[in-house]
């Protein structure tokens, strides 16, 4: 990515609409007393504090906290992201997982459709962990060879899925949703494995980059 400004804007865009992101950022930059093209990593701290009051208008506390933690990591020399591991306990963790999936794709220079697929897979699996188990973990790994691919691993120690056959065949009627999350996820993936027992559920889903 080209500049600190672009990074900031693309981060904000994941939380609020383009137009709001541009306006809020323009205002914070003005308040810091610099011009758009002068924004550098040195200004990030100051910009973050100027952005906060405006962001409060748009975001729930959990989303605000997650944005702020992401703001903190802009500009830090980051090793090429090979993998991510996240605990999924609260609903806000689903949004964080999606955002991280998107980040990872962007760093890899993935196409928009790939980003969409991976983030959707992550969203489905993370929400299932949140809704049907007492919490679990979600990992995303990048493999460069034999072909570039991203693997999502969702693990929980919940009660397991009892009627997986019906769910995969589309014969299942969900009380909570459309009942199409797992089936749809499989269709987005190159490879999809699910192991489930009363001791928990593990899903491994691979998306080509």
Partner 1 sequence: MKEPNRVPIIRVWNLLLVPVQGELGDTQAEDLKRDVLGAIHTGNVEGLVLDVTGLWLIDSHLCAVLTRLAQAASLMGTRTIVCGMSAEIALTIQTMGLELGAVQTALSLEQAFERFGVRAPEGEEEDRPVLESDLASSVAKGESQ
Ligand X SMILES: Nc1ncnc2c1ncn2[C@@H]1O[C@H](COP(=O)(O)OP(=O)(O)OP(=O)(O)O)[C@@H](O)[C@H]1O
| Shortest Cβ 79–partner 1 spacing (Å) | 26
| Shortest Cβ 34–partner 1 spacing (Å) | 28
Alpha-carbon torsion, ordered 121, 15, 129, 196, to 10 deg? 10
| Shortest Cβ 149–partner 1 spacing (Å) | 17
* Beta-carbon-side half-sphere exposure of residue 170 (alpha carbons within 13 Å): 4
38 Cβ neighbours under 8 A, 6+ residues apart: none
Here the tokens at position 50 are 């100027």
Of all helices (H) and strands (E), which one includes residue 67?
A: helix 61-73
User: Does 174 interact with ligand X (rule: CB under 6 A)?
Assistant: yes
Here the tokens at position 57 are 């208008």
- Tell me which residues in 115-144 interact with Mg ion (CB under 5 A): 128
- Residue 26 vs 131, nearer CB to ligand X: 131
What is the β-pairing status of strands 191-197 and 136-143? unpaired
Site map (CB under 8 A) of partner 1, residues 49-68, x = contact: -------xxxxx--x-----
Q: Which does 135 bind (CB under 5 to 8 A by kind): partner 1, ligand X, Mg ion, none?
A: none
Q: How far apart are the first and last CA of the chain?
A: 18
Output helix, strand, coil percentages for the chain, rounded to the nearest 5. Answer: 55, 20, 30
Q: Which span (31-39, 79-87, 94-102, 154-162) binds ligand X, by CB under 6 A?
A: 154-162
| Shortest Cβ 102–ligand X spacing (Å) | 20
**Residues near partner 1 (CB under 8 A):** 13-17, 56-60, 63, 91-92, 95, 98, 102, 112-113, 115-117, 119-120, 123-124, 127, 170, 177-178, 180-181, 183-185, 187-188
The residue ranges that bind ligand X (CB under 6 A) are 124, 128-129, 132-133, 156, 158-161, 167, 174, 176-183, 201
């Amino acid at each position: 990515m080209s500049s600190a400004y672009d990074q900031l804007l693309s981060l904000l865009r994941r939380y609020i609409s383009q137009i709001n992101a541009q306006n809020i950022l323009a205002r914070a930059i003005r308040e810091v007393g610099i011009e758009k093209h002068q924004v550098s990593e040195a200004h990030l701290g100051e910009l973050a504090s100027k952005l906060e009051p405006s962001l409060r208008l748009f975001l729930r506390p959990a989303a605000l906290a997650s944005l702020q933690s992401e703001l903190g990591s802009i500009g830090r020399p980051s090793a090429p992201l090979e993998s991510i591991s996240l605990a999924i306990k609260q609903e806000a963790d689903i949004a964080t997982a999606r955002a991280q999936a998107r980040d990872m794709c962007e760093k890899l220079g993935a196409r928009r459709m790939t980003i969409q697929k991976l983030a959707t897979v992550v969203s489905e699996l993370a929400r299932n962990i949140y809704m049907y188990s007492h919490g679990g973990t979600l990992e995303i790994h990048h493999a460069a060879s034999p072909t570039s691919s991203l693997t999502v691993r969702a693990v929980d120690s919940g009660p397991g899925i009892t009627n997986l056959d019906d769910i995969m065949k589309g014969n299942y009627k969900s009380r909570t949703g459309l009942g199409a999350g797992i089936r749809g996820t499989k269709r987005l993936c190159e490879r999809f494995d699910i192991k489930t027992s009363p001791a928990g559920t593990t899903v491994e889903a691979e998306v080509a980059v």
